Chain A
Amino acid sequence: MATKARIIKRGDDTIFQILVNTFLVLLLIAVLIPLWKVLIMSVTPLNFLDVKAYGLWLDPWKWSFEAYKQLLSHPSFTRAASNSGIITIGGVIVNMLLTVPFAYALSVEKLPGRKFFITMVMIPFLFNAGLIPVYLVVNKLGLIDSWWAVILPGGINIYNLLVMKSFFEGLPEELKEAARLDGANEIQVLWTVILPLSKPILLTIGLFYAVAHWNEFFNAILYLNDAKLQPLTILLRNILLAANMNEYVEYDAFSSASVQSIKSASVFLTMLPMVAIYPWIQKYFTKGTLLGGVKS
């Protein structure tokens, strides 16, 4: 009887697994189709008479990389890409420099005024200051037209801070105590004990920050007046709009690729770095968020 029940249970598990996997595969397809379509459109040649311009299939021998060539050779694109790189790398460094020590400090239970600091942290988490006050602060600090303007206002993301704090709290207290007994101060404890054990959370939070900085758009629109400082997202937006705006002009900026291809190629190139980084960090990703999200 018990065996029969086990068999039924195992059968239920199998059906459940099949259903879940089928659902995930369908979800994956739903995610991949738009990406594939963007890729195909980006390699559709200028003369697209005999191919359906918005179809999903295009014979590989008809692929044209002209749109990519045009984009990569465009001075605005390379400059904007390097700006995005600087904002992302610089932003992540600043974020980690601010978030890690703060999270560690808050994770130390005997920190004087810990509750007060946590309360102070929670207030802006729950009540956003809004656009205008932040703009005023950035303006008064003289940060307009500097990369600080897009890096500093998001220097600490409270959600990320709390996740990291929870992760630190979950580390064995004995390790920290041992280091302290050996004469290490808190900075040394953080550097020599905590950080080497925190690779998953550092990479996970780092990825969160990196994606946010790579996608930086709104702050850049507001604070970066100098177009030479603007990131890729703004250029991408401009390119996406160009098809609608350039009808009145005689310019022939992208002469050997269709507007649709240029738009798709710019979308693809913009998302590529984040898509490429993700698999390398994925193995830490689940672990990092799981450990950070559960307090033992």
Chain B
Amino acid sequence: MNKVFYKSMLALVLLALLASACAPVASPTAEPAQEQPTAAVAAPTDKPAEPTAAPTEPPAPPEIEVVDLELWAGGRVSEAGPPPDDWVAYDIIREQAKVNLKLVLLPSTQADQDTKINAAAASNSLPDVFMVSRDVLYKLVQAGLVAQVDDLLPMMPTRTAGHYFDADRNKLATFDGAMYGLPDPGALPQTDSLVIRQDWLDKLGLTAPTNLDEFMEVAKAFTFNDPDGNGAQDTYGFCAFIDGSGLAQAGLGPRFDFIYGAYGVAGVWNLSDSVSLNARSEDYMKATEFIKNLNDEKVIDPDWPTLKKDEFRARWKQGKCGIMIENFAALANKSNYKDFDENFPDGQWVAMDAVAGPDGEASMGTVMKTARIYAVSQKAIDEGKGEAIARFLEWTASDEGYFLLGFGVEGENYVKDSNGYVVTEGIAPEMAWTSKEMQPLTQLANMVYIFTDVEMQARYVAYKTKNGRDMDPKAYYAEFLTKPFTQATGAGVINPPSNAADFVRFYSENIVQFVLGQKPLTAEAWAEYIAGLDSLGAAQLEADAKETLLQTGFLK
């Protein structure tokens, strides 16, 4: 009896599972698509008819067919899900842009995104519009799988004016003189800058350092003079970690770049006419020597070679750090600052000037214009979807599209204050556009954000700290924007060599070994290091880089 029962149950479960697995996945737009023709006819009646010469009946507005578009985009919040099937934006996009949108959120890492897109490309099943890295785009262009987008730009004037106006950024998606991608603004520039604990300076009677010598002195005082007054030597003058990856951020990365900037060699590349690696400069070695001194004097958190970003952030939130390079939002947004505030209500970080080097030069590091590139597949153009793509993108740049994709539904997820800024006063916390429940509704926000004042006000909200001090992330950013940075957008178009991983590893590991004293930092050793880079093809890389910069117009 039991056996029969178990067998029957097993068979039932099996059938149920197979049935559920066989069932087609519900498309968020599949069902409403049946209603599209009605919407398509009704919508144009809202627009005023064009005046006609003949006193005849006004011509019927051309019926625009609703077109299916598949979009692969990066979600704004990696751990949040996609918009729900009944997302109001799907209906509005269908009505306004005549597009039946199928949205796919790409994996969260660049490597996974590249793999997915490469696999789709290899099977000629790229979506109509997709976000793509420049390196992969370059390969797709060579394979003829993506379309030129120059012709689309006039069809979406608002979006072009707001998103694709920057000639330098457009070069990131330009190959052989033609644009093969739509380069949306990537990240805000100059977001990461030096900050210092003002309360520690006050306690020790010091002022913020302005040059490298003062930097060392303040760092020593922060390390050895018990700036937090807890009686323990548990603080460090300077905290950093090896940040960044790839050729453009080889070496110790942007957290140490202000020191190289003080010697006039911020970043990997010297992008002047010569186009060479900064490592060839004697100043680069001197800057590395200064970092070695910081390490030897034990004024830098000794875990810097192995720290990860979140571990680094845990350190400053634990009150271990006196000076650091940090992102303004990572430092000052309430969601990030609250841990530090909880621990140190009287602690205060202030923006610091870039420290000057021996020749008076100063730079916080490099600044590169970045882009989220959206490509259009050649298949989509061949299927006649170009206009629909332009219609959709133009709609995203309209007021309706901008606010809906960026902040949700007005009155439900946000309201506008008297200045037109997006605020959440009067909105239930779980309905506010910033709440975790509503995160899926703004997953496409990065497609519409262009760093307007409205965005900045909404995204980086001022608040009171635990002890009532005013805290405004935007104020930090405004300060950061006044600091000197070294322009290096051209580095973004330099194609990595075929042995990029080996090259970058050799480049970076040797610098770390010099700083840690595992290799003597002498002129001879440095020459050997440069010879090692040359043996890995540095000279050829420089020649190729110069050619690319000339081709893309970054170098005249």
Contact = CB atoms under 8 A, between A and B. Distances in A.
B335 A251 contact: yes
Interface string B74-99: 01111111100000000000000000
Contacts of A243: 309-310, 313
A241 interface: yes
Interface stretch (A86-94, A175-183, A202-210): A86-94
A192 to B, nearest CB: 11
A53 interface: yes
A127 interface: no
A250 B460 contact: yes
A222 B25 CA distance: 16
Interface string A254-267: 11001110010000
A255 B432 CA distance: 15
Contacts of B82: 226-228
A146 B25 contact: yes
B318 A53 contact: yes
Interface stretch (A14-22, A42-50, A61-69): A42-50
B107 interface: yes
B187 A146 contact: no
Contacts of A48: 314, 318, 339
Given A146-B24, A253-B436, A222 B119 contact: yes
A229 B125 contact: no
Contacts of B24: 146
B81 A227 contact: yes
A197 B336 CA distance: 59
Interface string B183-199: 00001100100000000
B489 interface: no
B21 A131 contact: no
Contacts of B334: 250, 252
Interface string A77-108: 00100000010011001000100000000000
Interface string B341-356: 0110000000000000
B119 A245 contact: no
A76 B77 CA distance: 12
B115 A221 contact: yes
A49 B343 contact: yes
Interface string B102-120: 0011011100100110011
B327 A248 contact: yes
A49 B344 CA distance: 9
Given A244-B309, A250-B333, A253-B79, A221 B21 contact: no
Nearest to B77: A251
Interface string A116-152: 0000000000000001100110010000011110010
B478 interface: no
Contacts of B80: 76, 253
A229 B122 contact: no
B271 interface: no
A226 B18 CA distance: 19
B461 interface: yes
A282 B27 CA distance: 42
B108 A86 contact: no
B21 A76 contact: no
A250 B434 contact: yes
Nearest to B344: A49
Interface in A219-235: 221-222, 225-229, 234-235
Contacts of A54: 311, 314
B329 A145 contact: no
B310 A238 contact: no
Contacts of A238: 78-79, 108
A8 B515 CA distance: 56
B516 to A, nearest CB: 21
B319 interface: yes
B310 A246 contact: no
A25 interface: no
B115 A76 contact: no
A66 to B, nearest CB: 13
B105 A221 contact: no
B108 A237 contact: yes
A146 B75 CA distance: 21
A221 B76 CA distance: 17
Contact of A248 (B17, B187, B313): B187
Contacts of A46: 339, 342
Nearest to B20: A86
B254 to A, nearest CB: 13
Sorted from nearest, which 8 A-B pairs have the closest CB atoms?
Answer: A247-B330, A252-B335, A238-B78, A225-B104, A227-B82, A243-B310, A253-B436, A132-B122
Interface of B: 13-14, 17-18, 20-22, 24-25, 72, 75-82, 104-105, 107-109, 112, 115-116, 119-120, 122-123, 125, 187-188, 191, 309-311, 313-314, 318-319, 327, 329-330, 333-336, 339, 342-343, 434, 436-437, 439, 458-461
29 contacts: A48-B318, A48-B339, A49-B343, A76-B80, A90-B20, A93-B14, A132-B122, A146-B21, A146-B22, A146-B24, A218-B115, A221-B112, A222-B115, A226-B104, A227-B75, A227-B82, A227-B104, A227-B105, A228-B81, A237-B107, A237-B109, A239-B78, A241-B109, A242-B78, A249-B329, A250-B434, A251-B439, A252-B335, A260-B314
